[in-house]
């Protein structure tokens, strides 16, 4: 599993309906370890990272500390670098394409497996295997399937006449981007399918029956009944998938390491390289801190859509 | 429509479903098939859909004899089990209190635990490397388990809280009237009825830590401490085009996941969709 984000609906932000009696301080002891843990392993590192981003951190200062405070200098440097903006564009392109593909396919699968037929539950669960397989494993399998000379994908595409001759997917910029998008979408699709299935099950059959009596065909029923009623679920699933995909590191790192050239250099890999390849922890800290804006900004919309879904 | 026509339609739908499932899981089959091929069969053109001859050489010679793989599997086991145990110990009481006890700031804390899950792992791995370097925790199980727990605990709490919310408050109140303390009501009443939720969280924490890559890559530079995912990533370079060996290692890495998936699948699906059907 690449990303484990809570599925929609878990964000019940309404407090437990406990009667308004005196709160017992002892009860808080149950929560204290979790709060301390999250503060120490998430909030503290994040703040530490922001602090790093304002300092001039050399290799020596990684262990010793005491790096000099330089103010916004690292930020202005970073924002004037073309490769940073390039990584942002690639990240958004990669995420947008993968989410679009996973959503379209996930929707198609959800509608298909929402029909009643023997074995559908088993098949639905089996498809989830693609989602829970470690990304390191699936990325490796895709690398092999997309191999230029002996890969299965080229053979299949040649058989149906889409490509002619060997396509070296991971060695050319545009095909490489498509390759990582396909591998990512493959993992995320079953997850989206499960989220959408939950929404589809909430649509009463009577609406479809009424639409059928009114003469609506399958496509019309989908566009006039399914899609409008699924709108809140769709929005939640799209936002959740976008945030999770934007964070993805392993798939691209394993398949291309950001290459060829910088064709698939997404922000998480860019930031990782800054710190762990070039030992520039300060610029790495700047890049990761700036990168945080996208998922946190979107999470505002995500929580809003969750609340709307709950009240719907 | 006659009954037989409806039945026939369902039969066709089932057949279609089987085809879709097979096509979708083709990469999984291809991984397994390749791992059973010999080194000349992997380069057959067109590719051999079924391995011929079927050979276990990749497993018996490469996987078993490669020291790094055994070590990586051991490391991953320690890290994943450690993460699961710590996550359960910390998240279960917290989720229970946030669902059933009178604590402050429930909405705020739940929001915090959700927002935290939006953070990319690299954002934590980078400062953690610096912090751990100074605390001498790089290349240690403690460091790797702490790193894995950072995101596993918030996830576990968001999954578990709905389970505890579904435990009727009256049952817990009744236990207290019968003389149970808050703690023993939690242990003796709430926990036993929430076992499915506990299994779900344990499974999801374990799977998450087993497949984790970024923390392992950033916080374990020493080869002897790397989890199997990082070892596998390293082998992609050293094995080159020995795809059968590489796929055999991939199968071994995926195996615990597949076994857990087969036997505990309803808990996983339940965890992934917890709340999606509105609790």
CB contact under 8 A, B211 and A2: yes
Please check whether residues B157 and B257 belong to one and the same domain: yes
**CB contacts < 8 Å between A and B, how many?**
352
The interface pTM score, or ipTM, of the predicted complex is 0.89
* CA A237/CA A256 separation, integer angstroms: 28
Minimal Cα distance from B243: which residue of A?
A144
* CA A206/CA A24 separation, integer angstroms: 49
Please check whether residues B71 and B125 belong to one and the same domain: yes
Please check whether residues B21 and B151 belong to one and the same domain: no
**Chain segment B161-190, per-residue pLDDT in tens:** 888 888 777 777 788 777 778 888 888 888
Structure-model confidence comparison of residues A6 and B250, the more confident one = B250
Please check whether residues B24 and B78 belong to one and the same domain: no
Helix (H, G, I), strand (E, B) or coil at A271: helix
Minimal Cα distance from A151: which residue of B?
B47
Q: How far is A99 from chain B (nearest CA, A)?
A: 16
Residue B206 lies in a domain: yes
Residue B10 lies in a domain: yes
- Mean pLDDT for chain A? 86
**Chain segment B53-70, per-residue pLDDT in tens:** 888 888 888 888 888 899
CB contact under 8 A, B117 and A137: no
Q: Which of A36, A47, A53, A140 to mutate to test the interface with B (most CBs of B within 10 A)?
A: A140
Residue B52 lies in a domain: no
Question: Would the pLDDT of B225 be above 70?
Answer: yes
Q: What angle do CA A106, A309, A16 make, to 5 degrees?
A: 125
* CA A103/CA A176 separation, integer angstroms: 21
Full domain range(s) for residue B23: 3-35
Q: Which residue's entry shows tokens 């609506």?
A: A216
Q: How far is B201 from chain A (nearest CA, A)?
A: 12
CB contact under 8 A, B97 and A27: yes
Q: Any CB–CB contact under 8 A between B261 and chain A?
A: yes
CB contact under 8 A, B155 and A4: yes
Bridge partners, B244 (sequence order): none
Percent pLDDT > 90 in chain A is 41
Please check whether residues B162 and B259 belong to one and the same domain: yes
Residue B31: its pLDDT value, please?
A: 93
Torsion angle of the four alpha carbons B92, B94, B98, B99, in this order, in degrees rounded to the nearest 10: 10
Question: Which residues of chain A does B154 touch, with a Cβ-Cβ cutoff of 8 Å?
Answer: 38, 42
Percent pLDDT > 70 in chain B is 95
CATH of the domain at B250: 1.10.3720.10
Q: Are B151 and B240 in contact (CB under 8 A)?
A: no
CB contact under 8 A, B247 and A141: yes
Question: Which residues of chain B does A198 touch, with a Cβ-Cβ cutoff of 8 Å?
Answer: 273, 276-277
Burial classification of residue A137, based on how many CB atoms lie within 10 Å of its CB (0-12 exposed, 13-18 middle, 19 or more buried): buried
Residue A23: its pLDDT value, please?
A: 55
Residue B26 lies in a domain: yes
Q: Which two tokens stand for residue B203?
A: 């499974």
Please check whether residues B28 and B139 belong to one and the same domain: no
Residue B3: its pLDDT value, please?
A: 66
Question: Would the pLDDT of A6 be above 90?
Answer: no
Q: What is the mean pLDDT of residues B213-229?
A: 93
Question: Which residues of chain B does A242 touch, with a Cβ-Cβ cutoff of 8 Å?
Answer: none
Q: What is the mean pLDDT of residues B18-25?
A: 94
Please check whether residues B114 and B216 belong to one and the same domain: yes
Please check whether residues B246 and B206 belong to one and the same domain: yes
CB contact under 8 A, A12 and B109: no
Element (H, E) at A247: helix A227-247
CB contact under 8 A, A112 and B18: no
CB contact under 8 A, A4 and B151: yes
Q: Structurally, how many domains does chain B consist of?
A: 2
**Chain segment A171-215, per-residue pLDDT in tens:** 888 889 999 999 999 999 999 999 899 889 888 888 888 888 888
Question: Which residues of chain B does A302 touch, with a Cβ-Cβ cutoff of 8 Å?
Answer: 118
Q: Give which of B176, B204, B3, B185 is closest to B88, Cα–Cα.
A: B204
Residue B41 lies in a domain: no
Please check whether residues B95 and B137 belong to one and the same domain: yes
Residue B272: its pLDDT value, please?
A: 64
* CA B65/CA B71 separation, integer angstroms: 11
Residue B137 lies in a domain: yes
Please check whether residues B22 and B131 belong to one and the same domain: no
The interface residues of chain B toward chain A in range 207-226, judged by CB-CB distance below 8 A, are: 207-208, 210-211, 213-214, 217-218
Element (H, E) at A56: strand A55-56
pLDDT-derived band at B142 (thresholds 50, 70, 90) equals very high
Question: Which residues of chain B does A27 touch, with a Cβ-Cβ cutoff of 8 Å?
Answer: 97, 101-103, 182
Residue B57 lies in a domain: no
User: Can you list the domains of chain A with their CATH numbers?
Assistant: 30-71 (no CATH), 77-311 (1.10.3720.10)
pLDDT-derived band at A250 (thresholds 50, 70, 90) equals very high
Please check whether residues B28 and B127 belong to one and the same domain: no
Q: What is the mean pLDDT of residues B194-201?
A: 87
Please check whether residues B103 and B25 belong to one and the same domain: no
Among B116, B150, B261, the residue with its CB nearest the CB of A129 is B261
Question: Which residues of chain A does B97 touch, with a Cβ-Cβ cutoff of 8 Å?
Answer: 27-28, 30-31
Minimal Cα distance from B8: which residue of A?
A117
Among A6, A13, A18, the residue with its CB nearest the CB of B107 is A13
Question: Would the pLDDT of A16 be above 70?
Answer: no
Cis peptide before B53 (omega within 30 of 0): yes
Residue B40 lies in a domain: no
């Amino acid at each position: 599993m690449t990303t484990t984000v809570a599925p929609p609906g878990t964000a019940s932000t309404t407090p437990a309906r406990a009667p308004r009696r005196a709160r017992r301080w002892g009860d808080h002891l149950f929560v204290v370890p979790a709060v301390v843990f999250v503060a120490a392993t998430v909030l503290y590192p994040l703040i530490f990272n922001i602090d790093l981003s304002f300092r001039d951190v050399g290799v020596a200062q990684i262990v010793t500390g005491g790096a000099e405070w330089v103010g916004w200098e690292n930020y202005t440097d970073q924002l004037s670098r073309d490769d940073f903006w390039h990584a942002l564009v690639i990240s958004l392109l990669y995420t947008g394409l993968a989410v679009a593909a996973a959503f379209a396919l996930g929707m198609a699968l959800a509608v298909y497996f929402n029909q009643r037929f023997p074995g559908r539950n088993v098949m639905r669960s089996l498809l989830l295997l693609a989602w829970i397989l470690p990304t390191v494993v699936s990325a490796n399998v895709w690398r092999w399937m997309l191999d230029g000379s002996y890969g299965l994908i080229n053979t299949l595409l040649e058989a149906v006449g889409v490509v002619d001759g060997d396509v070296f997917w991971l060695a050319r910029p545009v095909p490489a981007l498509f390759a990582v998008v396909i591998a990512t979408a493959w993992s995320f699709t079953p997850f989206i399918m499960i989220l959408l299935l939950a929404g589809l099950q909430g649509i009463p059959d009577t609406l479809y029956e009424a639409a059928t009596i009114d003469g609506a065909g399958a496509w019309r029923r989908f566009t006039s009944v399914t899609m409008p009623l699924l709108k809140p679920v769709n929005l939640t699933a799209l936002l959740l998938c976008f945030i999770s995909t934007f964070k993805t590191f392993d798939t691209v790192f394993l398949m291309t390491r950001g290459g060829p050239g910088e064709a698939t250099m997404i922000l998480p890999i860019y930031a990782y390289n800054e710190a762990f390849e070039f030992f520039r922890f300060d610029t790495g800290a700047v890049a990761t801190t700036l990168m945080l804006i996208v998922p946190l900004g979107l999470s505002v919309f995500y929580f809003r859509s969750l609340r709307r879904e709950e009240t719907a | 429509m006659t009954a037989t026509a409806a039945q026939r339609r369902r039969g066709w739908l089932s057949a279609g479903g089987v085809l879709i499932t097979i096509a979708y899981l083709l990469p999984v089959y291809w991984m397994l098939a390749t791992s059973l091929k010999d080194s000349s069969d992997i380069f057959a053109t067109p590719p051999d859909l079924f391995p011929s001859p079927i050979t276990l050489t990749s497993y018996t010679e490469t996987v078993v004899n490669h020291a790094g793989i055994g070590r990586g599997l051991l490391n991953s086991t320690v890290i994943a089990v450690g993460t699961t145990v710590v996550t359960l110990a910390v998240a279960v009481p917290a989720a229970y209190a946030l669902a059933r006890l009178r604590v402050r700031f429930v909405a705020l804390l739940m929001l915090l635990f959700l927002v935290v899950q939006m953070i990319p792992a690299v954002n934590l791995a980078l400062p953690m490397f610096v912090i751990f370097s100074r605390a001498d925790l790089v290349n240690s199980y403690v460091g790797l388990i702490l790193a894995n727990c950072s995101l596993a605990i918030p996830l576990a709490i968001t999954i578990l809280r709905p389970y505890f919310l579904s435990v009727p408050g009256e049952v817990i109140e009744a236990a207290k009237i019968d003389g149970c303390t808050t703690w023993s009501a939690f242990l003796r009443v709430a926990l036993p009825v929430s076992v499915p939720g506990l299994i779900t969280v344990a499974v999801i924490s374990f799977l998450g830590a087993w497949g984790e890559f970024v923390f392992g890559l950033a916080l374990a530079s020493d080869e002897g401490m790397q989890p199997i995912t990082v070892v596998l990533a390293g082998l992609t370079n050293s094995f080159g085009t020995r795809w059968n060996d590489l796929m055999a290692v991939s199968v071994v890495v995926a195996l615990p996941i597949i076994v857990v998936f087969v036997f505990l699948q309803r808990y996983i699906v339940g965890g992934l969709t917890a709340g999606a059907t509105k609790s």
